[in-house]
Amino acid sequence: MTRDAMTAPPSIKKAATGKRQVRMDPEVMADALANDTRQPNGEFVPRLVARFHTMSGSVGGQVLTFMLTIAAALVASVPLIWLAGSDFWLTTTAFFGGALGSGPAIAETLVQMIPLLIAGLAVAVAFHASLFNIGVEGQLLFGGLVAGVVGASLDIPPALLMIVCLLAGMIGGALFALIPALLKAYRGAHEVVTTIMMNFVAVAVAEFAVAPTGPFVAADQPSATDRVPEGAQLPIIWEGTRLHAGLLVALAAVAIATWVLYRTPAGFRLRLMGANQNAARASGISIERQTIIALLASGALGGLAGAVQVLGLYGRFYAGFSPGYGFDAIAVALLGALSPIGVVAASFFFAVLHAGSVPLQAIAGISREFVGVVSGLVVAFVAAQPAVMRLVSNMRQKVVDDTLPNDPPEPQYMSEIATSPEEPS
Amino acid sequence: MKTRASRPDTAPVAIQLTGVSKHFGPVKANRSIDLSVRQGSIHGLLGENGAGKSTLMKILFGMMRPDAGRIEIGGEDVTLRSVADALAHGIGMVQQHFSLIGKLTVAENLILGRANSGFAARWLQKLDLESAGRRAEELSERLGFGIDPFARCDTLSVGARQKVEILKALWGGATTLVLDEPTAALSPPDAEELYALLKTLQQDGTTIVLISHKLPEIMRLCDRVTVLRDGAVVGEAEIPRAYNAPAEKQALEAQLVRLMIGRNRPEVPSRSSHIWPTVLSVRNLSDGERFGPIDLDVCGGEILAVVGVEGNGQGQLIELLMGLKKAASGSITLEEANITRKTTLQRFQCGMAHIPEDRHGLAVADRMSVIDNASIAFVDGAPFAPTPFWLSRQKRARFAAGVIRRYRVRAASVEAPVTSLSGGNQQKLVVGRELARAPRLMIAAQPTRGLDIGSAAAVHEALIGLRDRGGAVLLLSLDLTEVFSIADRIVVFRQGRIVGETSTADADLDRIGSWMSGIDEETQK
Ligand SMILES: Nc1ncnc2c1ncn2[C@@H]1O[C@H](COP(=O)(O)OP(=O)(O)OP(=O)(O)O)[C@@H](O)[C@H]1O
Ligand SMILES: [Mg+2]
């Protein structure tokens, strides 16, 4: 063996200590990181078109799936309307008129959409890491409680207090997800079980906190905390309605979640772990750490949903302020196919359902619980999506069969291989 | 018995495909393919990676529907709407990658989706696992497999899993068996068993379609071969059972290679004999169970092959070296840095790279795009992320495109999910992205699994290039031909220990064989 110190490759002893080491084949790196000279700026539009073209396949498919699912759920609920003894047209006009018929109605729908959107994002983020966080309801309650308590007891400038309250809500939600996260990461306890149990804890804690003898109960109102100062509440953004700045918070959360998931190393790690945990581990991702991060992020979003509700709508924490947003959020996330934009659309749909349910009861005489039926149907149809998509693609196949002329057969440069000289006769 | 003895070339046609075409968007995977397979013959299907072999067979197995073309089975026009249709027509298929459910037992996997009882019975009756287990045992005995039907599939070795796949394909009494690269993951003795099995099945009258990149096995088993390129048939040949001269066989082989890859079989490149200081040094390493303790050194400029019967510690060695498993004792030193306690990520940053053996399990994420799968090599995002808050998509796309260009991966677009790539092309993507780490130590486990002759040569060339630039390569391969053609030194593992070591130049196949099987020690006693 010839030892040759001169030509020996440089030692990389120190590499292990550096935090963000770039270790990459220099040629490949130059290739990948060079400024894009092959495509001059003038070609920006064609590039954009091409980009859209490659995307549209999947985006179009997703929109179609979304629409089909909703349509199927609505169609399936028609017989139920009939069973409830109501007239179809009356029901439809009452429902859509109530949800979208006027400015104030739309505003009310958007108000309903805010908690569903943020909580749906919370569920979706966990799903991206292949974690099923059913505990969003609990995180939302606890986050709301923390935000309400902080808002009622901290004495700082109102604008600052608002931000502190939102952050406190997020931290509260994250803390509430911490126990399931630790159990999952280090003990393998399934997060579905632990987060469900934490929901019960959350309800109990919330009720205790504002019970008649509880530590945070308001003097003037049972089962609630003291009011958050007016200035620290989320301002109304549509005069004359209840629509508050929580909508902007929610949309900001969508933008941030999209960016983090698809445009940061952390989001990439999260999605990789969700797509193939073993591959993620083999490529150097710590599954434990990633599990904790994903569940904490999900919990923080859940807590934010609660805080926004408390700061925007009620101005104080009520023990029973959530009619089950955290559970509807699961349907929202699934209907939205886990994509943040999809979650926006799905939460809007569910908000329409909720907002329309009030006039539905008043005018058409159909119980509000009907909304629960429809959302159950949506979940069922989401579960049936693979089968439906298969059906659709089979139908498409047929169309292709009929319309596309056969590929002109390629010239076959068929070579006669003279192989078996002794043809068995 | 009837068919093979009476020449399969006059036997009736079992399967006739006419004008089968299939595209995926712009990719024409199959272009008007005609294929006829005679009853009771073994028909080989050859072609480069991405030639369309798997697609064609998936069409025959009812997993995909052709855009155009006719399928006749036993002279009868059929429309295959689903796998169940194909099974009903007596077609069984072993997929290119495993389709077993790890958490279920062998018997459970075998009866999955094969209920032949009525609708009511299916819901009301208890699942008869016992009789299924008995049947599995019988079948496995008859084929000489020796598989425990009640073992959980994820506890089985790769070879055993492959056998279960074959059992599964034969379970419904298939008369036509399609095997998609069945020996890619098998060790030579296991492959031998499979060959014998195929011959037995053929004698029983089963028609077999065999997809393979291994020419020797094609030459040995098949009666006839069809070569695909770019989705079209480019040639067919009868393989004679007897040759007038050995040169004739070689000429035929060479011709097949030319048809497949459009050029002659590439030569293994020559290499420098320069040796650099030690890169990897393992001392007294053990996992506290059945592995080790072992000592191992790999120098820069050296390809060290680890061979042994499957399941004799090679897997543990990789897990310990990559930090996927904690070492109970001993030390691992990479270029004077002690990495025994380092995380997997830190090991990568220290200059390791890893081509995993189990591609779908450890190397790719099926649902993610080609871009994402290429950037798995850089999970910390470092080269593409100026800050932790921004991962440049454009740079990642350019990187993926670069890997695709360098290693001739056939991909329609970098945005497509990685499952839209053919098996061999996925492997090329993995090899390419791992080489892009500029590793000092490359751990390559079955790096050429599923690659065509041309691509395998390109990978060998890349590994030798790495070695010539002073890197170290730890090669784990079941393919002794590969080991002999590129490795410099061979160590043999048995029962978690190193039992023999030799340089390739004066390696003796018999001696290696006796080390692997342990006959050596027994005679010494
Ligand atoms: N689901 C799919 N979507 C899009 N393209 C696909 C899909 N499946 C296969 N292809 C494309 O069709 C072509 C043929 O693929 P196929 O899997 O049949 O190749 P193959 O001959 O089996 O190759 P290999 O030897 O690597 O397994 C490839 O270019 C591949 O990218
Ligand atoms: Mg294939």
Q: Using an 8 Å Cβ cutoff, are B488 and B318 in contact?
A: no
3-class secondary structure for B56-113?
HHHHHCCCCCCCEEEEEECCEEECCCCHHHHHHCCEEEECCCCCCCCCCEHHHHHHCC
Where do the domains of chain B lie, and which CATH numbers do they carry? 13-102+172-261 (3.40.50.300), 278-524 (3.40.50.300)
H or E segment to which residue B329 belongs: strand B329-334
Q: What is the pLDDT of residue B139?
A: 81
pTM of the model: 0.86
pLDDT higher at B274 or A137:
A137
**Angle, helices A103-128/A136-153, rounded to nearest 10 degrees:** 120
Q: Could you give the C-alpha distances from B341 to A22, B167, B324, B328, in angstroms and in order?
A: 21, 43, 11, 11
Q: Which DSSP string do the residues of A238-306 spell out, in sequence order?
A: STTS--BTHHHHHHHHHHHHHHHHHHSHHHHHHHHHHH-HHHHHHTT--HHHHHHHHHHHHHHHHHHHH
Q: Do B32 and A11 touch (CB under 8 A)?
A: no
Chain B positions in Cβ-Cβ contact with residue A273 (cut-off 8 Å)? none
Average pLDDT of the segment spanning B112-138: 73
Task: Report pLDDT digits (tens) over A129-159.
Answer: 999 999 999 999 999 999 999 999 999 999 9
Residue B247 near residue B441, CB atoms below 8 Å: no
B236 close to A (CB below 8 A): yes
Polymer length of chain A: 425
Query: Is the pLDDT assigned to residue B182 strictly greater than 70?
Result: yes
pLDDT attached to residue B524: 54
A89: helix, strand or coil? helix
Cα–Cα nearest to A337, from A381, A377, A376, A294: A381
Angstrom distance (rounded) from CA B182 to CA B221 = 13
CB contact under 8 A, A20 and B28: no
- pLDDT of A45 reads 55
User: Hey, whose CA ends up nearest to atom 29 of ligand 1?
Assistant: B50
pLDDT for position A394? 63
Q: What is the pLDDT at residue B107?
A: 86
Residue B259: its chain A contacts at CB < 8 A? 415, 417
Contact between chains at A15 and B383 (C-beta distance less than 8 A): no
pLDDT tens digits, B347-395: 999 999 999 988 888 999 988 999 999 999 988 888 888 888 888 888 8
State if residue B421 touches ligand 1 by the CB under 6 angstroms criterion. yes
The reply to whether omega before B293 is within 30° of 0 (cis) is: yes
Encode pLDDT of A341-382 as tens digits.
999 999 999 999 888 888 888 887 888 888 788 888 888 888
Given B65, B336, B365, which is nearest A13 (Cβ)? B336
Give the pLDDT confidence score for residue B114 in this predicted structure: 67
Select the highest-mean-pLDDT range: A171-185, A347-361, B480-494: A171-185
Ligand nearest to the CA of B50: 1
3-state secondary structure of A354: helix
Tokens of A180: 């399931």
Average pLDDT, chain B: 87
pLDDT of residue B3: 39
Residue type, A326: G
Lowest mean pLDDT among B6-10, B421-425, B448-452: B6-10
Residue A282: which of B277, B354, B469 has the nearest Cβ?
Answer: B354
Alpha carbon distances (Å) from B6 to A309, B10, B150, B238: 82, 8, 40, 16
Considering only the beta carbons, identify the residue of A2, A8, A406 that sits closest to B19.
A406
CB atoms within 10 A of CB A269: 24
Q: How many CB atoms lie under 10 A from the CB of residue B115?
A: 13
Phi, psi of B499, rounded to the nearest 5 degrees: -110, -10
In the structure encoding, which two tokens stand for residue B12, read together? 């009736």
Q: What are the pLDDT digits (tens) for A69-125?
A: 888 888 888 888 888 777 888 888 888 888 888 889 999 999 999 999 999 999 999
Kindly report the CATH number that applies to the domain delimited by A98-366: 1.10.3470
Write down the number of H helices and E strands in chain B. Answer: 19, 20
Task: Calculate how close chain A gets to B423, using CA atoms only, in Å.
Answer: 17
Instruction: Give the pLDDT score at B231.
Output: 92
Say if residue B93 is exposed, middle or buried (CB neighbours under 10 Å; 0-12, 13-18, 19+). buried
Question: Where are chain A's structural domains?
Answer: 98-366
B456 close to ligand 1 (CB < 6 Angstrom) = no
Distance separating alpha carbons of residues B424 and B24, to the nearest angstrom: 18
Most confident among A244-253, B3-12, B182-191, B455-464 (mean pLDDT): A244-253
Q: Which of B255, B354, B406 sits opposite A417 (nearest CB)?
A: B255
3-state secondary structure of B461: helix
- Is the shortest distance between the CB of B96 and ligand 1 below 6 Å? yes
3-state secondary structure B147-209: CCCCCEHHHCCHHHHHHHHHHHHHHCCCCEEEEECCCCCCCHHHHHHHHHHHHHHHHCCCEEE
Query: Which region among A98-102, B18-22, B124-128 has the lowest average model confidence (pLDDT)?
Result: B124-128
pLDDT beyond 50 at B232: yes
Distance from CA of A333 to the nearest CA of B (A): 18
Between B156 and A289, the more confident residue is A289
d(CA A202, CA A198): 6
Give the three-state DSSP class for B48: coil
Residue A60, classed as helix, strand or coil, is helix
Q: Residue A286 and residue B343: Cβ atoms within 8 Å?
A: yes
Distance, CA of A28 to CA of B407 (rounded, Å): 12
**Backbone region of residue A258 per phi and psi (left: phi > 0; alpha: psi in -120 to 50; beta: other values):** alpha
| Nearest residue of chain B to residue A396 (CA atoms) | B67
pLDDT bracket for residue B204 (50, 70, 90): confident
Q: Nearest Cα to A299, choosing from A153, A181, A154?
A: A181
Would the pLDDT of B396 be above 60? yes
pLDDT, tens digit, 9 for 90 and up, residues A272-300 = 999 999 999 999 999 999 999 999 999 99
Tokens for A418, please give them: 């003279």
Main-chain phi, psi angles of A234, to 5 degrees = -70, 130
Mean pLDDT, rounded, for B426-430: 94
| Distance (Å) of CA A336 to CA A131, A216, A272, A348, A381 | 16, 37, 20, 10, 13
Instruction: For residue B163, give the nearest of B150, B147, B142, B141 by alpha carbon.
Output: B147
Give the three-state DSSP class for B43.
strand
Copy the structure tokens of residue A314: 């009620």
Contact indicator for A295, A177 with CB cutoff of 8 Å: yes
Q: Indicate whether B81 pLDDT > 90.
A: no
pLDDT of B244-262, one tens digit each?
777 888 888 898 998 888 8
Contacts with B439 (C-beta within 8 Å, 6 or more apart), sequence order: B351, B352, B353, B466, B471
Question: Is the beta carbon of B27 within 6 A of some atom in ligand 1?
Answer: yes
Q: How far is the CA of B170 from the CAs of B136, B164, B199, B201, in angstroms?
A: 10, 10, 14, 10
Q: Which amino acid is at A338?
A: L
Query: Could you identify the atom of ligand 1 that is nearest to the CA of residue B411?
Result: 31
Q: B51: Cβ below 6 Å to ligand 1?
A: yes
Mark yes or no for CB contact B372/A281 under 8 Å: no
CB contacts, 8 Å: B345 with chain A: 284-286
Q: What six digits make up the tokens of B292? A: 């080790």
Name the residue of chain B whose CA is nearest to A256's CA.
B389
Q: Mutate which of B391, B407, B441, B473 to disrupt the A interface (most A C-beta within 10 Å)?
A: B391
Mean pLDDT of chain A: 82
At a CB cut-off of 8 Å and minimum separation 6, what does B521 contact? B499
Dihedral in degrees, nearest 10, Cα atoms B449, B454, B458, B459: 0
d(CA B35, CA B55): 13
Q: Does B62 touch chain A (CB under 8 A)?
A: no
Distance B22 CA to ligand 2 centre (A): 15
* CB-defined contacts A:B, below 8 A: 232
Q: What Å distances lie between residue B495 and B140, B186, B288, B322, B498, CA to CA?
A: 26, 19, 13, 20, 8
Burial class (CB within 10 angstroms; exposed 0-12, middle 13-18, buried 19+) of A196: middle
Q: Ligand 1 mean position to B50 CA, how many Å?
A: 5
Q: Which ligand is nearest to the CA of B213?
A: 1
Interval between CA B55 and ligand 1 midpoint (Å): 6
Distance CA B265, CA B182 (A): 23
Contact B361 A279 (CB under 8 A): yes
Residues in CB range of B78: below 8 A, 6 or more apart: B71, B72, B85, B89
**Cα–Cα distances in Å, from A134 out to A193, A302, B267?**
9, 11, 59
Q: Phi and psi dihedrals of B277, rounded to 5?
A: -60, 165
Q: Among A29, A262, A397, whose Cβ lies nearest the Cβ of B383? A: A29
